[in-house]
Amino acid sequence: MEKRNIVGADLADISGFVTGHGLPKYLAREIALWVYRRGAKSFDEMTNISKAARTLLDKHFIFKLSPPVKVQVSSDGTKKYLFSSLNNKFIETAYMPDKKRNTLCVSTQVGCKMGCRFCMTARQGLQGQLSAGDILNQILGLPEKDTLTNLVYMGMGEPFDNTDEVLKSLDIITSDYGMAISPRKITVSTIGLIPGMKRFIEHSKCNLAISMHSPFDEERKKLMPVQKLYPIDEIIQLLKASNFEKQRRISFEYILFKGLNDTDAHVKQLARILNGLRCKINLMHFHTIPGSSLTGCDDASIKSFQDKLNDKGIVATVRASRGEDILAACGMLSTGAILGSTAVPNNSPEPAN
Ligand code: SF4
């Protein structure tokens, strides 16, 4: 029998083990608390659990937390960690300390198959799905884990192309048997895979960010092939129909590309399609990636676009770039070179779920 890692097991998994072995039911919660809250690194440290139960645990599970194998530190204090996932692939995780908040940007896949034109991870292609344990290990294995205030699922990969494991990890992070982090401190970012979004809306209370980058169909298709399957209008209709914004925050991410999506017509169209939805737009700098013909807007143009949106009644903020000098900023994460991978062509993704 292959032993599973206890890191990544939710309460249902642990309860199944406990009851299956005739152990008292309350032990499931105790075990989970040791793994996710009390900082245990081995079954032997679970001192209020009988030796016999610990021996059984040891027989059925491994307890493996993997620390990062490498760190790079940016001049702005951002740290980019390289983690080896449990199936021996590599992923990157960005830790961004700030005055009031310390945010961790976690990955959900090794690479990505969604083919967004502005993204370095896309060049890598999809090389593996992370398990809930791999996702949680980026938090539990982080040297600064006790300082974290916010979590964003915005690293490598599309979360809703790995929905089961993402939802499981969110459940463990937010539950009182797990890390007990408020869902209001967590944001999941998606390009808009509607089946996964629907499950997320139903099962999670975390915030949602949607990568928009253009309000126009043909233009968004060129930037993000996913638009062919799940148009931005349908995504917005889904959010309006679900009353999602009444309980949680919705934001739209919008990278400003010079001469492409920065015109008054874009401001007008954004105001039109977002009318009636309580949300904000996060304007972002483009972080240039090799071989891309796209060019980012300068600070003044971004400010001007922000003002025009605000004048239309749309809350728009500008996201500060973090970690650009160590390739840790948005859209720059990739472990393709480490893996020596063969990239999946950018123009042929098959968004799944
Ligand atoms: S932006 Fe996100 S969904 Fe698009 S290719 Fe990059 S990682 Fe994948």
Residue nearest (by alpha carbon) to ligand 1 atom 4: 116
Residue from 105, 119, 206, 330 carrying the catalytic annotation: 330
What integer is the mean pLDDT of 318-331?
Answer: 80
Domain spans, the chain: 4-62, 70-339
Task: Please tell me if the CB atom of residue 121 comes closer than 6 angstroms to any atom of ligand 1.
Answer: yes
pLDDT > 70: percent of the chain? 95
Instruction: Say what the pLDDT of residue 86 is.
Output: 57
Please indicate whether residue 245 is annotated as part of the active site: no
What integer is the mean pLDDT of 235-245?
Answer: 91
CATH topology of domain 4-62: DNA polymerase; domain 1 (1.10.150)
Distance 158 CA to ligand 1 centre (A): 6
Distance 181 CA to ligand 1 centre (A): 26
Instruction: Say what the pLDDT of residue 337 is.
Output: 66
pLDDT in tens, 196-208: 999 999 999 999 9
Confidence category of residue 253, pLDDT binned at 50, 70, 90: very high
What integer is the mean pLDDT of 188-193?
Answer: 98
Instruction: Say what the pLDDT of residue 342 is.
Output: 35
Distance 333 CA to ligand 1 centre (A): 10
What integer is the mean pLDDT of 278-298?
Answer: 93
Q: Annotate the chain with three-state secondary structure.
A: CCCEECCCCCHHHHHHHHHHCCCCCCHHHHHHHHHHCCCCCCHHHCCCCCHHHHHHHHHHEECCCCCCCEEEECCCCCEEEEEECCCCCEEEEEEEECCCCEEEECCCEEECCCCCCCCHHHHHCEEEECCHHHHHHHHHCCCCHHHCCEEEECCCCCHHHCHHHHHHHHHHHHCCCCCCCCHHHEEEEECCCHHHHHHHHHHCCCEEEEECCCCCHHHHHHHCHHHHCCCHHHHHHHHHHHCHHHHCCEEEEEECECCCCCCHHHHHHHHHHHCCCCCEEEEECCCCCCCCCCCECCHHHHHHHHHHHHHCCCEEEECCCCCHHHCCCCCCCCCHHHHCCCCCCCCCCCCCC
Residue from 92, 158, 165, 253 carrying the catalytic annotation: 92
Domain range 70-339, CATH architecture: Alpha-Beta Barrel (3.20)
pLDDT, mean over the chain? 92
Task: Please tell me if the CB atom of residue 157 comes closer than 6 angstroms to any atom of ligand 1.
Answer: yes
Comparison of pLDDT for 333 and 221, the residue scoring more: 221
Please indicate whether residue 45 is annotated as part of the active site: no
